[in-house]
Amino acid sequence: MSGARGVAQGCTPTVTAISQVNVRFGPSTNYNPPIGTLFPGQSAQVTGRLSDNSWYRIIFNNNEGWVTSQFVTAFCMDTVPVVPVPPPPPGPTFIPGNANFQASTYTVQQGQCSTLSWSVQDVAAVFLSDGQYQYGVGGVDTRSVCPQATTTYTLLVQRRDGTSFQQQLTITVTPTQPSNNPNFTADSYSLNPGQCTTMRWNVNNVRAVYFWDGTNQQGVGGNDSRQVCPWTTTTYRLEVVGNDGSVNNYFQTITVSGSSTAPNVSFTANPATLAQGQCSVLNWTVSGSFNLVQLLDTSTNSTTVVGATGTIQVCPSASATYILRVTGNSGQQFDTSVNVNVFNTGPTPQP
């Protein structure tokens, strides 16, 4: 029993963010604007809680703040006192002011950026909002913004006497015209069996792009490439879906000539499509005449010598191509590739 008491005495009540969560003046989303943010993995000491454990009072930047329990993990909460709900926040009193809030340019094309700047002295807090997120900033500060659509930015200034003022400006975004030709090319159009070449393309401002290797179709980036290692003459297709829903297909043929005694190779990825943070298992079996088997990871530019039969787990952070390279008795190399496609599940909403 004495050992258990020793552990409890040394346990500090804390919360750790499991996703991005706002820190507020009080236990409600009505306390605006937030005074800061806890990012995933960040921790803070807990000094109080509501009776239903829906909000925790924490120490944040040497001040008190509140976070919702929905996006944090709590530890050692047995000794944390229940505190009364604070009175609702008063509405802001807006008195005209000028922070010289301006932009380096007020009209940009999609993908371009503008620099916002402001200068205000002797204030309690300053916040910049893009209509979706709000960030604490300095009184004399700048931010580079790259909006994808026309966006109004609001600068909220809180004075030390409790009054506030805000200024707004709008960045107008002009859509860029889509490229009619994705410049779909190959580094080499004529190969021996088992040799490889890289297919490349570049297309902007479109809804989706798909690459078809003769067997599988996969979603790819607008400015992207894929290594291919055909054993026979193969025609590759790039499908481009415009923002208006129009579909255009572009083709390139890689001619494979000559003959070779190729080893028998089985190389698979399971699963071939996964969410960011998940893993896939590569399996391979090589038979026939050969001297060497290597596994190439194009995402890390690494090469590993492996056995004729093997299994390995891979957890790429982005879509990656893996190549099993078999060197024959004559020194000729035979490549077989698999693609592991990784998709981003998107940010978790916050209160």
The domain spans of the chain are: 2-75, 93-174, 185-256, 264-343
Q: For position 301, what pLDDT does the model report?
A: 85
For residue 275, give the nearest of 220, 318, 314 by alpha carbon: 318
How high does pLDDT run on average in the chain? Answer: 85
CB atoms within 10 A of CB 161: 9
- Write out pLDDT tens, residues 135-158: 888 999 999 998 888 999 999 998
Architecture of domain 264-343: Sandwich (2.60)
Does pLDDT of 332 surpass 50?
yes
- Write out pLDDT tens, residues 234-263: 889 999 988 888 888 899 999 887 655 678
Burial environment of residue 202 by CB neighbours within 10 A (0 to 12, 13 to 18, 19 or more): middle
For residue 246, give the nearest of 197, 207, 200, 295 by alpha carbon: 207
Q: What is the 8-class DSSP label of residue 265?
A: E
User: What's phi and psi for 346, nearest 5 deg?
Assistant: 90, 165
| Residue 220: both structure tokens together | 């790819």
Strand order in the sheet with 190-191: 190-191, 247-256, 234-242, 206-212, 217-220
According to CATH, the superfamily of the domain at 185-256 is SoxY domain (2.60.40.2470)
CB atoms within 10 A of CB 326: 25
As a CATH number, domain 93-174 is 2.60.40.10
Architecture of domain 2-75: Roll (2.30)
Does pLDDT of 97 surpass 90?
no
> Apex CA 54: angle with CA 52 and CA 59, to 5°?
115
Cis bond upstream, residue 271 (ω within 30)? yes
Least confident of 59-73, 126-140, 324-338: 324-338
